[in-house]
């Protein structure tokens, strides 16, 4: 079993393909009841953006592993009053065993990683959402019995979730298709990085055509059209994104056994219809549950207690 002890996970590609596979395998065992302990260890959660799934799944994962969690609400800590990230990171690194940070800029996360002598986990930035992709890959594997050669189509904004999906897909040799409106394509540096680290089988399609992207796809995946921090742009985006809605018409182009994923929270009637999210192809609730199992595997691996 891989030991990732003391690694920072600032993006999904901070894991090698083998390490990612091992984490997913461990997550399966933990979900089946394997017991591991991080007794006496403390996880800090420093979240500058709202969160339900990430906050609660990390907290429950840690409690079930016998550890503790401290919620470092920025508005109740000095960092919210302007104490520098460097000073905050240095100090937190001396109390905590592991820290998950949800923030805007990837550079801020890197500052934490550079100055705290403990593993730092990206709990979502504007650039990436690696913990989400761990759960997504676990859900795909459970449902389709494989990751390599699976065609996953993501429709919507080519930002954080799409970026981690592209990189995770590259590590697992998947066929990733990203359909976005013009101007919302994924970051080209992420796409280039994915091509560099890809294993055999990886293919990437980036298109403006949702039907071409959805054709025979085994997974359809969507996310909100307006991410946290961009709310002032929400109304103007709706007409641009409407052709990318995951609805029954789009499902007809996909593989007949297609599974539908959404990282949540969902805006029903925008990026996904009620009928689809509640329908027989939807796996979004299993996907949300898998956040907890996947993050448990990540925590124990980073703390070096994974066997």
Residues that bind ligand CP (CB under 6 A): 51-54, 124, 132, 263-265
163, 283, 291, 293: the active-site residue: 291
User: Does 227 participate in binding ligand NVA (rule CB under 6 A)?
Assistant: yes
Q: Which of 129, 177, 237, 262 is catalytic?
A: 129
Q: Is 228 in the site for ligand NVA (CB under 6 A)?
A: yes
Least Cβ distance, residue 161 to ligand CP (angstroms): 8
Instruction: Report in angstroms the alpha-carbon separations of 231 from 53, 163, 244, 260.
Output: 20, 20, 19, 25
Report if residue 100 touches ligand NVA, rule: CB under 6 A: no
What is the spatial distance between Cα 151 and Cα 56, in angstroms, rounded to a whole number? 30
**132 has catalytic annotation:** yes
Retrieve residue 52's tokens. 């339900």
| Residue 291: active-site member | yes
Q: What are phi and psi of 122, to 5 degrees?
A: -75, 110
Rg (CA), the chain: 19
Residue 151 binds which entry of ligand NVA, ligand CP, none, CB below 5-8 Å type-dependent:
none
Angstrom CA distances, 8 to 11, 85, 154, stand at 9, 16, 27
Q: Cβ of residue 272: shortest distance to ligand CP, in angstroms? A: 14
Query: Nearest approach, Cβ of 159 to ligand NVA (angstroms)?
Result: 6
Residue 52, binding choice from ligand CP, ligand NVA, none, Cβ under 5 to 8 Å by partner class: ligand CP
- Specify whether the CB–CB gap between 226 and 237 falls below 8 A: yes
Pick the catalytic residue from 7, 53, 102, 177.
Answer: 102
177 counts as catalytic: no
Shortest gap between Cβ of 256 and ligand CP (angstroms)? 27
Per-position DSSP letters for 225-262, written without gaps between them:
SS-TT-GGGHHHHHHHHGGG-B-HHHHTTS-TT-EEEE
- Which residue lies nearer to ligand CP by CB, 115 or 262? 262
Query: For ligand NVA, which stretch binds (CB under 6 A), given 5-13, 220-228, 243-251, 278-286?
Result: 220-228
User: Is there binding between residue 223 and ligand NVA (CB under 6 A)?
Assistant: yes
119: left (phi over 0), alpha (psi -120 to 50) or beta: beta
C-alpha span between 123 and 140 (Å, rounded): 21
Q: What is the largest CA-CA distance in the chain?
A: 54
Task: Tell the smallest beta-carbon distance from residue 94 to ligand CP (Å).
Answer: 27
Q: Which is catalytic among the residues 132, 218, 245, 295?
A: 132
Task: Examine the residue annotation and report whether 106 is marked as an active-site residue of this protein.
Answer: no
223 tagged catalytic: yes
Active site residue 129: yes
CA distance linking residue 210 with residue 250, whole number of Å = 8
Under the binding rule (CB under 6 A), the answer on residue 180 touching ligand NVA is no
């Amino acid at each position: 079993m891989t030991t990732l002890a003391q690694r920072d996970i600032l993006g999904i590609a901070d894991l090698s393909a083998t390490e990612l596979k091992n984490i997913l395998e461990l997550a399966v065992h933990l979900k089946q009841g394997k017991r591991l302990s991080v007794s006496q260890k403390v996880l800090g959660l420093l979240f500058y953006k709202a969160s339900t799934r990430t906050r609660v799944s990390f907290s429950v994962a840690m409690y079930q592993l016998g550890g503790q969690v401290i919620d470092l609400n920025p508005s109740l800590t000095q960092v919210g009053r302007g104490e520098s990230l460097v000073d905050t990171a240095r100090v937190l690194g001396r109390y905590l065993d592991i820290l998950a940070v949800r923030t805007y800029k990837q550079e801020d996360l890197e500052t934490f990683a550079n100055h705290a002598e403990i593993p730092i986990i990206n709990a979502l930035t504007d650039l990436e959402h690696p913990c989400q992709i761990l759960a997504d890959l676990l859900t795909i594997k459970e449902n389709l019995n494989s990751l390599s050669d699976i065609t996953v189509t993501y429709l919507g904004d080519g930002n954080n979730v799409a970026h981690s999906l592209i990189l995770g897909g590259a590590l697992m040799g998947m066929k990733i298709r990203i359909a976005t409106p013009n101007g919302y394509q994924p970051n080209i540096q992420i796409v280039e990085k994915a091509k560099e680290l890809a294993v055999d089988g990886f293919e990437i399609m980036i298109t403006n055509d949702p039907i071409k992207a959805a054709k025979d796809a085994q997974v359809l995946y969507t996310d909100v059209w307006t991410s946290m921090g961009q709310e002032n742009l929400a109304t103007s985006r709706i007409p641009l994104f409407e052709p990318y809605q995951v609805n029954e018409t789009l499902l007809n182009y996909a593989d007949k056994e297609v599974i539908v994923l959404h990282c949540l929270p969902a805006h029903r009637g925008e990026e996904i219809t009620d009928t689809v999210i509640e329908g027989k192809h939807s796996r979004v609730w299993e996907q949300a549950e898998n956040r907890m199992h996947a993050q448990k595997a990540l925590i124990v691996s980073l703390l070096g207690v994974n066997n």
